[in-house]
Amino acid sequence: MNQDKNNRMPGMLVIFGGTGDLTHRKLMPAMYNLCVDGMLPDGFITVAVGRKDKTEEQYRDEVFESLNKFSRNRIRIECWEKLRVAIHYFRMDITDISAYTRLNGFLGRLKPRGADDRIYYLAVAPEYFEIIVSGLKSGRLAEDGDIHSRLVIEKPFGRDLATAEKLNDKLLEVFPEESIYRIDHYLGKEMIQNIMVLRFCNLVFQSLWSSRYIDNIQISLCEQHGVGTRGGYYEQSGAMRDMVQNHAFQVLSLVAMEPPGSLSTEDIRAEKVKAIRAIAEMTPSRLETDVVFGQYSRGIIGGQSVPAYREEEKVAPDSRNETFVALKLHINNFRWAGTPFYIRTGKRMKTGSAMIVVQFKSLPDVLYFKEGMKQEPNLLVIRIQPDTGVNFQFNTRDFGAHTGIKKMKMDTCNACPVQGNTPEAYERLMNDVLRGDTTLFSRWDEVQASWKLADSIIEHRKNACCNPNYEAGTMGPTEADALMERDGRHWWNEAEEWE
């Protein structure tokens, strides 16, 4: 397929699952905000596909209500009117293969003023991925004449390596690899995109970015909320499939990767894959010592009592599913030999935050630190959410005393008002899909490498997990703290620890 055709701007977005929560909370606000920012091509059309019986005007009214709730930009009537007339609704049963021929006819009659190329977005449960792709093939919707299509598929991409390979084979029967966008919304977040800039645009960090100067790196993706109404899904996934195999490993790859030869999509993705493949095998002995699973019990968060995981909707009363995972990983390459990477993710934790903490090695206990004074390490803290920013902790003279050293912090602004009303993750990713930029989307070999590592940990979970072992409103099970304490380290939990 020629490059020009791959890179031209599509004229139509078709959303399967058009009446669902993801569409109303994320996708439609993303499209509206792109429209406000002048990022949508003229004549661009959005088609929502759903089972519910409603008119086009009813659907447009529902989208308007969603934008009022979830858009980062206030509704401007002129922008909304431009988008409103470009939104269409098509009712069909996505499991009915014969219906895709009707859909093809419907889309053909709309005729966007721009290119006829299309984006198919699967905003549905994963059990429908294969049947939709089969329907696109049978209805001649994927590649029809001069029409080129892109497929956007949400996580989870399979339940393990075997199912991921089966799904990928099905996709490749219909779409070439370069047209498949495996979306991970974490990679659209501001600070995730900023990791490469921090590393490769600052000599002070790039020159120190190795095991020679870094003691350990911690990736914490913590959530205060529980599983809510997603109990049925979570029972099938757990924290490993929901957070670690995708979000956590993707963040780790950006932190650990070698400098790419260029900023081209393929050069960046190639280095990310190398980083994941370099993670040391989780041997049976390491699975016993370097993996901690947890499940939350009842507790207090924000002064309110919250139920245990086993008391959540659609969760088995004797479930042994994990809602928390802590891992110690090693990367076997020249840059990182000897520096452990710690990953922690969990639900119903004391704080809801996501951050990366790079802890630099300490100086020898001489000069200022030789008389029993506590030495605080230098820390580079990359805050992903809810506050976005970077801070660096260093030591300086305590000007309030005659002698002594105190820690200080250089910090970017939390809300970053100087940046303005910045785009959200789905806006950035949808803009990348429109432009044909796959840099922030997982290539198949990335997914494959992640599943190979995750599968061994998930297999270990069958025997190691999991009765309730941490109260909601805490920072996870005590075993996770012990994992760090054995190495003479501790988790960096909250911002006040280095303030």
Catalytic residues: 247
Q: Which of 154, 178, 207 is the last residue of a domain?
A: 154
Provide the pLDDT for residue 100.
96
* Residue 402 falls inside a structural domain: yes
pLDDT for residue 75 is more than 90: yes
Provide the pLDDT for residue 112.
67
Provide the pLDDT for residue 145.
64
Mean local confidence (pLDDT), 56-81: 95
257 and 386 within one domain: yes
Q: In 10 A of CB 224, how many CB atoms?
A: 17
360 and 216 within one domain: yes
Low-confidence winner among 192-201, 326-335, 370-379 (lowest mean pLDDT): 370-379
pLDDT tens for residues 415-464?
A: 554 444 567 889 999 999 999 999 889 999 999 999 999 999 999 988 87
Mean local confidence (pLDDT), 148-164: 92
147 and 52 within one domain: yes
146 and 208 within one domain: no
Low-confidence winner among 15-24, 285-294, 407-416 (lowest mean pLDDT): 407-416
CATH number at residue 400: 3.30.360.10
224 and 107 within one domain: no
416 and 276 within one domain: yes
Q: What's the total number of domains in the chain? A: 2
Provide the pLDDT for residue 193.
83
Low-confidence winner among 31-45, 254-268, 392-406 (lowest mean pLDDT): 392-406
Q: pLDDT tier at 2 (50, 70, 90 boundaries)?
A: very low
* Residue 210 falls inside a structural domain: yes
Provide the pLDDT for residue 186.
83
> Is the model more confident about 355 or about 148?
355
pLDDT tens for residues 302-335?
A: 899 999 999 999 999 999 999 999 999 999 999 9
Q: Which of 154, 177, 210 is the last residue of a domain?
A: 154
pLDDT for residue 5 is more than 90: no
Question: Could you tell me what percent of the chain has a pLDDT over 70?
Answer: 90
CATH number at residue 40: 3.40.50.720
Provide the pLDDT for residue 184.
87
pLDDT for residue 196 is more than 80: yes
Q: In 10 A of CB 479, how many CB atoms?
A: 15
Mean pLDDT of the chain: 89
217 and 332 within one domain: yes
Mean local confidence (pLDDT), 92-107: 95
pLDDT tens for residues 10-27?
A: 889 999 999 999 999 999
Parallel, antiparallel or unpaired: strands 324-329 and 304-306? unpaired
Residue 14 CA neighbour count, 13 Å, CB half: 26
| Whole-number Å distance between alpha carbons of 405 and 376 | 9
* Residue 174 falls inside a structural domain: no
Provide the pLDDT for residue 408.
75
388 and 272 within one domain: yes
192 and 146 within one domain: no
pLDDT tens for residues 482-498?
A: 999 999 999 998 644 54
* Residue 176 falls inside a structural domain: no
* Residue 168 falls inside a structural domain: no
252 and 137 within one domain: no
193 and 145 within one domain: no
Q: pLDDT tier at 54 (50, 70, 90 boundaries)?
A: very high
Q: pLDDT tier at 278 (50, 70, 90 boundaries)?
A: very high
Mean local confidence (pLDDT), 35-40: 90
222 and 137 within one domain: no
* Residue 178 falls inside a structural domain: no
Provide the pLDDT for residue 386.
84
pLDDT for residue 262 is more than 80: yes
Identify the domain containing residue 81 by its residue range.
3-154
* Residue 127 falls inside a structural domain: yes
Provide the pLDDT for residue 419.
47
Provide the pLDDT for residue 368.
64
* Residue 263 falls inside a structural domain: yes
Low-confidence winner among 158-172, 225-239, 310-324 (lowest mean pLDDT): 225-239
